[in-house]
């Protein structure tokens, strides 16, 4: 690697573990550390990069507040999260406001990453927040999630978010400075790996068993996150978050394991659309749209002359020219009924026709894969 992936990322996600943010003895939020992290966030944003935070700590803060002692039952954890999350959000709001940055709380559940419509909604909301200059602060929606539908760990949640919003880099700040061939706390001969390109069975074996693996959230969940990131074209780091200004430290060469994918988030997304999505409808486009698409543009409703099939928002549809030749395929932002109502119309008229708009494009260029 040449420059730091942190400096190169257009869209960066930073995941903060509970043990960094919350003082273990008192259950208080470690303000000085949080402020130093937010100083880093402000610095990175001032360079024109987008930042999303995924923060744990709701349960750790809330359980002290409610006087609950571990082990907590699921409903106690949920109660703790309900009160802790308010304090967490408030702390981030204050720390970011020192830099004039608006923060936005987003609570996600597993369904939001698995159900296509919810996934698209979450993606669009996060895109909009970033466009408006806010810093989303994400956590799992712990109060409603049951065991079966919980991520349970924010490593995985952060990786899913990275995939969802096509982030270029994810940093997992925790209490371990990287991946080792064995648990370095128990095995002094364990050696550290600076860079990983593929999660092989050997790499997986290095993480140890779930629960007993090293690092507070366990190395196992971090490797699951790394797998998701590698397939999504997102670079991921496992790194110690303890120092003040941890992002600066990482950028200046603090020890970390970087997981480096072959492609970019863009190519990964296109491969996923091409390889895993079955087209369930088709759009016929006019000559103007054919030209716009050939130049790499998005597909606007004005260029669509026919809509075939019955499909939902987020489904995959084929794009054809007037002769019926397939030009490409993509994820459509409007359901078939709505698409029929807005085809041949200017994007500015969408809200007037449908009563709401889900964006100017029928298929955004990032969601479109052209043939050969
Ligand atoms: N969502 C949990 C919380 O905020 C943390 C999950 C994790 O530790 O990864 O307390």
Evaluate whether residue 271 is within a structural domain.
Answer: no
Q: Which one of 24, 59, 217 would you pick to mutate in the ligand 1 pocket, going by the greatest count of ligand atoms within 8 A of its CB?
A: 59
Q: Which atom of ligand 1 is nearest to the CA of 85?
A: 4
Q: Give the domain-ending residue among 241, 265, 289.
A: 265
| 58 within ligand 1 shell (Cβ under 6 A) | yes
Judgement on whether residues 325 and 284 belong to the same structural domain of the protein: yes
Average pLDDT score over residue span 115-136: 90
Evaluate whether residue 341 is within a structural domain.
Answer: yes
145 pLDDT higher than 80: no
Per cent of the chain over pLDDT 90 is 77
216 pLDDT higher than 60: no
pLDDT on residue 212 = 52
Judgement on whether residues 365 and 299 belong to the same structural domain of the protein: yes
CATH value at residue 326: 2.30.130.10
Evaluate whether residue 270 is within a structural domain.
Answer: no
pLDDT on residue 215 = 47
Average pLDDT score over residue span 112-122: 82
pLDDT on residue 214 = 55
Residue 14: Cβ within 10 Å count: 27
| 142 within ligand 1 shell (Cβ under 6 A) | yes
| 174 within ligand 1 shell (Cβ under 6 A) | no
Nearest-angstrom CA–CA distance, 161 and 166: 8
Q: Which atom of ligand 1 is nearest to the CA of 216?
A: 8
Evaluate whether residue 45 is within a structural domain.
Answer: yes
The tokens describing 20, both together, are: 């960094």
What region, left, alpha or beta, does residue 253 occupy, with left being phi > 0 and alpha being psi -120 to 50 degrees? Answer: left
| 83 within ligand 1 shell (Cβ under 6 A) | no
Please, are residues 41 and 16 in contact by the beta-carbon 8 Å criterion?
A: no
Confidence of residue 213 (pLDDT cuts 50, 70, 90): low
CATH value at residue 68: 3.40.1160.10
Where in the sequence is the domain holding 258, given as residue range(s)?
Answer: 5-265
| 59 within ligand 1 shell (Cβ under 6 A) | yes
Judgement on whether residues 261 and 363 belong to the same structural domain of the protein: no
β-pair partners for 174: 240
Average pLDDT score over residue span 295-311: 97
Alpha helices in the chain (DSSP H): 5-8, 18-21, 31-46, 58-65, 74-97, 110-114, 116-131, 154-164, 201-206, 219-231, 246-251, 265-276, 287-294, 336-342, 350-354
Judgement on whether residues 35 and 164 belong to the same structural domain of the protein: yes
Judgement on whether residues 228 and 326 belong to the same structural domain of the protein: no
């Amino acid at each position: 690697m040449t420059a730091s992936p942190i400096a190169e990322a257009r869209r960066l996600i930073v995941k903060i573990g509970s043990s960094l943010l919350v003082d273990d003895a008192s259950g208080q939020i470690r303000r000085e550390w949080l402020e130093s992290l937010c100083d880093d966030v402000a610095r990175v944003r001032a360079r024109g990069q987008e930042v999303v935070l995924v923060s744990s700590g709701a349960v750790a803060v809330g359980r002290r507040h409610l006087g609950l002692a571990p082990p907590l039952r699921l409903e106690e954890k949920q109660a703790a999260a309900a009160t802790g999350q308010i304090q967490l959000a408030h702390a981030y709001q204050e720390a970011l406001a020192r830099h004039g940055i608006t923060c936005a709380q987003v609570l996600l559940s597993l369904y939001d990453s698995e159900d296509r419509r919810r996934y698209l909604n979450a993606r669009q909301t996060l895109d909009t927040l970033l466009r408006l200059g806010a810093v989303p602060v994400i956590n799992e929606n712990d109060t409603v999630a049951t065991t079966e539908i919980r991520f349970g760990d924010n490593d995985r949640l952060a990786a899913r978010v990275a995939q969802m919003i096509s982030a270029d880099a994810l940093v997992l700040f925790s209490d371990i400075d990287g991946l080792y061939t064995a648990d370095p706390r128990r095995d002094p001969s364990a050696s550290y790996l600076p860079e990983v390109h593929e999660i092989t069975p050997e790499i997986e074996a290095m993480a140890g068993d779930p629960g007993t693996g090293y690092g507070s959230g366990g190395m196992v969940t971090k490797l699951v996150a790394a797998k998701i990131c590698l397939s999504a074209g997102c670079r991921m780091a496992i790194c110690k978050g303890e120092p003040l200004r941890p992002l600066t430290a990482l950028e200046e060469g603090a020890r970390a394991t970087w997981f480096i994918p072959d492609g970019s988030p863009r190519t990964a997304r296109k491969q996923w659309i091409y390889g895993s999505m079955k087209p369930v409808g088709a759009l016929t486009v006019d000559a103007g749209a054919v030209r716009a698409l050939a130049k790499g543009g998005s597909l606007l409703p004005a260029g669509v002359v026919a809509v075939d099939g019955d499909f939902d928002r987020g489904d995959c549809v084929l794009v054809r020219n007037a002769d019926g030749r397939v030009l490409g395929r993509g994820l459509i932002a409007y359901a078939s009924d709505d698409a029929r109502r807005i085809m041949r119309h200017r994007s500015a008229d969408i809200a007037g026709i449908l009563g709401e708009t889900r964006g100017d494009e029928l298929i955004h260029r990032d969601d479109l894969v052209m043939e050969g």
